[in-house]
Amino acid sequence: MSPQAQAPAHPQANTPSPPPAARRANGRPSTRTLLVAAALLVIASVVAGIVSGSTTVLVQALVTGLLTGGVYSLIAMGLTLVYGVLHVINFANGSLVAVAMFVSYLAVNALGLHPYVALIVTVPVMALIGAGIQAGLLNPIMRAPIHTQLLVTIGVALAFESLLLMIAGPNPKSVSLPGDFGVDIFGATVSVARIYAFAGALVLVALLWIVLQKTRMGTAIRSVAASPEGARLVGINVKRIYVITFALGAAAAGAAGTLVAPFTTIEPTAGATFNLTAFVVVVLGGMGNVPGALVGGLIVGLTEQLGGLILPGQSPLLAVFVVFLLVLFAKPQGIFGRSS
């Protein structure tokens, strides 16, 4: 990893990569990988069912896994978008979600808004914050080696966490959804708020997809993702696109925060927990691939639940991390491969 500034091309220009495995240029999944993933999940479910000895438990796990997975996807959307365009892993993504949760809480308690109507407040606020971060802190160092930008996002994450702690105090807060009730799905009971969050994930994917594919700004964003130099040559203001993208990513994190607030503990350190799973989701689904984040999230949610059944007593996140490391080594492009 030569840090030399003289090489004009990507540092890998002279370091030929090994023969690439099924590399997809357009972000669609290789059938083989999907099949392998599906097969592994089925096997895991069967094993989990055997180990736990009860189909009810298994079904509960699968349902919870899918719904939680939806939440993970939601949180990871912004992260994958930012990576796809800026090639920066936004370590502050989790903290942005946490900030959004607190803003939701304020909107609900101070302004008396319905928890979902709070979206009107959180999304723009987070977008502005995101724009500020990119414009002020990241844009000046976009040409520096990647670890520089990662360090800044770590700093931002710490800053947000500490600010939340200072302003709101360590005591957890909560936001409740008026009219929340339990829903029975295949014998498993889930709060309807989670189902709404799952639906929210789907809507968000669709929205982001429409923006990226159908709008002029989206095309500009995708051009920058494919080649900043090329985009510059056709007159795109790359720095501005960076700001817009980060703002979008923060807005997505904002939406995620608001949607999960009704069933998540709102505390300053919530951000860190969100980060871990989001990283896994993004790598699994393919860095920069928004639909991939959806699938990746579901897989992570399921892995977490099934892992909890297969290895009782261990933190279910451990299974997730093991899978994470395996995927990093075996197929870092993830299931969907990197986007364009």
154 contacts other proteins (rule: CB under 8 A): yes
100-116 exposure pattern, b = at least 16 Cβ within 10 A, e = fewer: bbbbbbbbbeeeebebb
Out of 40, 166, 202, 206, point to the residue binding other proteins (CB under 8 A): 166
- Contact criterion met (CB below 8 Å) for 231 and 219: no
Nearer Cβ to other proteins (77/89): 89
Q: Which of residues 7-46 bind other proteins (CB under 8 A)?
A: 7, 12, 14-20, 23, 25
Binding mask 285-304 for other proteins (x = CB under 8 A): --x-----------------
In the chain, the amino acid numbered 182 is G
Size of the site for other proteins (CB under 8 A): 68
329 binds other proteins (CB under 8 A): yes
Closest CA to 143 of 4, 339, 246, 287: 4
* Distance, CA of 184 to CA of 238 (rounded, Å): 49
Closer to other proteins by CB, 170 or 182: give it. Answer: 170
Q: Mapping DSSP to helix (H, G, I), strand (E, B) and coil, where does residue 213 land?
A: helix
Cα–Cα distance for residue pair 138/148, rounded to 1 Å = 9
Residue with Cβ nearer other proteins (203 or 276): 276
3 binds other proteins (CB under 8 A): yes
Instruction: Please name the residues in contact with 318: beta carbons below 8 A apart, sequence gap of 6 or more.
Output: 307, 311
Locate the DSSP E strands across 76-226.
182-185, 188-191
Interface residues with other proteins (CB under 8 A) are 1-7, 12, 14-20, 23, 25, 83, 87-89, 137, 140-141, 143-152, 154-159, 161-166, 169-170, 268, 272, 276, 279-280, 283, 287, 313-315, 317-318, 321-322, 324-325, 328-330, 332
